Amino acid sequence: MTELDPVIHAPARMRIMVALAQLPSGDTLSFPRLQGLLDLTAGNLITHLRRLEEAGYVSTRKTGRVTTAELTDPGRAAFAEYRRSLKALLG
């Protein structure tokens, strides 16, 4: 039975992964832009980003006053696998 990655399989975290996966590897997205794209509150976004960061899927960095986030290589692979699993489950 195909299992879905529980770290990604939650609406807010999946949407964060989708947004970051649209950028090429090596690109980052600022916290305010990510928040605007997702319509999440700052607190919610921070909570879910932290969970993704703990799993090694996302990396965040603070430069001056701006915090940026990017998908890591394992995160990119996990997201591709998550999508494959979803499609496999749906036949």
Partner 1 sequence: MVEGQLDPAAALALLESQERRVRAALDPGLALTFLTWGMAWLVGFGSIWWQVREQSPYLGPQGAVAGLFAVLLTAAAIFTGWRTQRAVAGIGGESARRGRLYGLAWLAGPLALFATFAALGRAGAAAPVLGVLGACGPLLVVGLMYLFGAACFGSRPMGVLGAWLLVLAACIGFTGPVIAAGLAALLAGGGFLVTAAVVARRGRR
Q: How far is the CB of 16 from partner 1 (least distance, A)?
A: 9
CA angle in degrees (0–180, nearest 5) for 30-59-36: 30
Provide CB contacts within 8 A for 28, sequence distance 6+: 61, 68, 69, 70
Site membership for partner 1, residue 83 (CB under 8 A):
yes
| CA-wise closest residue to 30 among 44, 45, 15, 43 | 45
Angstrom distance (rounded) from CA 30 to CA 44: 16
Site membership for partner 1, residue 55 (CB under 8 A):
no
Site membership for partner 1, residue 52 (CB under 8 A):
no
Subset of residues 21 to 50 that bind partner 1, contact rule: CB under 8 A: 22-24, 26-30, 32-34, 36-37
Site membership for partner 1, residue 81 (CB under 8 A):
no
Rule CB under 8 A: which residues touch partner 1? Answer: 4, 9-12, 14-15, 18-19, 22-24, 26-30, 32-34, 36-37, 68, 70, 83, 86-87, 89-90
